[in-house]
């Protein structure tokens, strides 16, 4: 009979909080009460933990057992507390000496046979433990690589509850596998594969440099999907903080590669057009899973065949895109995931989708217009670059012209981003993020003669005020890529030309 405490971590979104798991074993009718706002999975843990303990050959105290998770007001999800609960109960009631794991954070789900199973979100959980000053984390074996990405905390692993018991009795060791340094993989998709299609390649480079949202329209086989898939390869690599953030999101979603390396390249998410709102923005029972928009944090959200998405689904992206985060309202409160992503949309210009494009299209114009109308609206309003792509000409496919590889473009992009970040200071990191007020600010206002191509279009009623701003943003990116201090009239003209999409 007695009392013991160990530690674990509760996650809310990507944030974690160290919690105390305490157990009290007192004389009385054998029972187990778990308190501290447990959700359904945690209640189920009672039977699971008992079975796991007994099947590990340990003695389950025949007494009145109370388990409490503190602080009580913190919502706790999932099965990641099983192992901590089992150790607390055994230490309180079965003379298991806790000494060697005093102060350690324990994570892991238990199988009925006593195996310790992997859980989602180990990276953010261990990160929270490290930040709280914890010195040791005990994690499921399958999660050890991601746990080790966290600095300043020792990580040990276990495959079973029996091993932990053996360790505490001093007859067995915890696992300390040598993690192979798997080289960080980066995309092998190269823009050099995209032949001809100068316009498409130009748009990808501008999108990368200015972090502009883009939309590409064109006939089937024009290379839209090819181009979009190659955007992450020319984006700057993630810095340490971004890499941890992105990897943590994938850890919570359970989509981290088993090699568990840090995600260093801007992620690409390409949800299918039948995807639900939950798949896009996040949801699900227990600890809500981040959706595609959060898994594309610091990367690219590619909506291929965007005209085919349900309009409600597209609308659900609007707020997260504006705020850079997703707020998932649940019965018990809110989960917030970061979602600073770059949107790439692609679509055929009409439902018949003939490879020849406009020349061979047989759709009545009313059908074309209706189809295009699905591509407008509030989401498209935020897209700086909206371009029509022509079909690839056979000469380009068969030609031997040298095509710039992604590595060369990425270098230009990095320099352009540096110039933009220095210019906007604290207002914005990229041209795509810069507020309109800044574009009109005295220091950055462009002269009348530079803006003339835009004012002419506007006076003819062919350009909206919003279109005007977007073209200015793109013009700045064009100048940055060219290493010039300010945009010139030619840059403004190109920017205008690159949003030539008109409803036809
Ligand atoms: N510019 C190009 N250079 C080389 N190959 C190309 C090019 N464009 C298309 N292709 C070839 O055509 C295939 C289809 O291209 P992709 O899927 O990118 O077209 P798409 O515009 O997305 O078409 P859809 O509208 O049908 O989705 C590619 O896998 C590639 O083999
Ligand atoms: Mg495609
Ligand atoms: Zn058509």
Closest CA to 372 of 160, 234, 215: 215
**Burial class for 140, CB neighbours closer than 10 Å (0-12, 13-18, 19+):** buried
Residue 500 confidence (pLDDT) above 70:
no
Name the band, by pLDDT with cuts 50, 70 and 90, for residue 296: very high
At residue 463, what are phi and psi to the nearest 5 degrees?
Answer: -140, 130
Q: What ligand has the least distance to the C-alpha of 403?
A: 1
How high is the pLDDT of residue 414? 97
What is the arithmetic mean of pLDDT over 307-320? 89
Which residue out of 215, 223, 305 has the highest number of ligand 1 atoms within 8 Å of its CB and is therefore the one to mutate?
223
**Residue 219 CA to ligand 2 centre (angstroms):** 9
Name the band, by pLDDT with cuts 50, 70 and 90, for residue 326: very high
Domains of the chain: 2-168 (3.30.230.10), 191-423 (3.40.50.300)
Name the band, by pLDDT with cuts 50, 70 and 90, for residue 431: very high
Ligand 1 pocket residues where CB is under 6 Å: 194-197, 218, 220-226, 348, 392, 397
Please state, for a pLDDT cut of 70, what percent of the chain lies above it.
Answer: 94
What does pLDDT average to over the chain? 89
Q: Where are the beta strands (DSSP E) in 141-256?
A: 154-158, 214-217
Q: What ligand has the least distance to the C-alpha of 227?
A: 1
> 180: how many CB neighbours lie within 10 A of its CB?
9
Closest C-alpha to ligand 1, atom 16: 223
**Chain segment 3-12, per-residue pLDDT in tens:** 999 999 999 8
Q: Give the pair of three-digit tokens for residue 114.
A: 């006593």
**Chain segment 62-92, per-residue pLDDT in tens:** 999 999 999 988 888 777 899 999 999 999 9
**Residue 392 CA to ligand 1 centre (angstroms):** 9
How high is the pLDDT of residue 341? 96
Residue 275 confidence (pLDDT) above 80:
yes
Residue 236 confidence (pLDDT) above 90:
yes
The DSSP 8-state label assigned to residue 378 in this structure reads T
């Amino acid at each position: 009979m007695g009392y013991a405490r160990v530690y674990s971590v509760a996650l809310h979104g990507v944030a974690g909080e160290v919690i105390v798991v305490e157990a009290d074993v007192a004389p009385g009718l054998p029972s187990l009460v778990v308190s501290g706002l447990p959700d359904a999975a945690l209640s189920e843990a009672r039977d699971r933990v008992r079975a796991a303990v007994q099947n590990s050959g340990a003695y389950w105290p025949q007494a009145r057992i109370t388990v409490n998770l503190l602080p009580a007001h913190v919502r706790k999800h999932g099965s990641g507390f099983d192992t901590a609960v089992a150790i607390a109960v055994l230490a309180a009631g079965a003379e298991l000496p806790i000494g060697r794991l005093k102060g350690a954070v324990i994570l892991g789900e238990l199988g009925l046979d006593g195996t310790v199973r992997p859980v989602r979100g180990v990276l953010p959980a261990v990160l929270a433990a490290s930040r709280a000053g914890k010195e040791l984390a005990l994690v499921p074996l399958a999660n050890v690589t991601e746990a080790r990405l966290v600095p300043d905390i020792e990580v040990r692993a276990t495959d079973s509850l029996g091993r932990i018991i053996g360790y505490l009795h001093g007859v067995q060791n915890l696992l300390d596998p040598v993690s192979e340094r798997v080289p960080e993989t980066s995309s092998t998709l190269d823009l050099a594969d995209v032949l001809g299609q100068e316009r498409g390649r130009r748009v990808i480079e501008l999108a990368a440099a200015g972090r502009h949202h883009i939309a590409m329209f064109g006939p089937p086989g024009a290379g839209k999907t090819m181009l979009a898939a190659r955007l992450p390869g020319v984006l700057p690599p993630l810095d340490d903080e971004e890499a941890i953030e992105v990897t943590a999101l994938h850890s919570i979603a359970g989509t981290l590669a088993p090699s568990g390396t840090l995600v260093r390249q801007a992620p690409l998410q390409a949800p299918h057009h039948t995807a639900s709102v939950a798949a896009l923005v996040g949801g699900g029972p227990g600890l809500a899973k981040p959706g595609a928009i959060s898994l594309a944090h610091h990367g690219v959200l590619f909506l291929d065949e965007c005209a085919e998405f349900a309009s409600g689904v597209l609308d659900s992206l609007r707020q997260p895109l504006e705020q850079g985060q997703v707020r998932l309202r649940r019965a018990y409160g809110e989960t917030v995931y970061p979602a600073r992503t770059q949107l790439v949309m692609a679509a055929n210009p009409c439902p018949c989708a003939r490879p020849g494009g406009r020349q061979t299209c047989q759709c009545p114009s009313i059908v074309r217009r209706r189809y295009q109308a699905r591509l407008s609206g509030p989401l498209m309003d935020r897209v700086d670059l909206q371009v029509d792509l022509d079909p690839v000409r056979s000469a380009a496919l068969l030609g031997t012209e040298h095509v710039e590889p992604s590595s060369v473009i990425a270098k230009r992009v990095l320099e352009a981003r540096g110039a933009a970040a220095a210019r906007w200071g604290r207002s914005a990191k990229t041209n795509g993020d810069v507020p309109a007020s800044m574009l009109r600010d005295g220091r950055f206002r462009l002269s009348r003669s530079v803006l003339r191509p835009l004012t002419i279009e506007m006076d003819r009623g062919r350009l909206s005020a919003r279109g005007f701003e977007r073209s200015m943003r793109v013009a700045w990116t064009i100048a940055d890529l060219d290493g010039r201090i300010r945009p010139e009239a030619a840059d403004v003209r190109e920017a205008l030309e690159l949003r030539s999409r008109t409803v036809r």
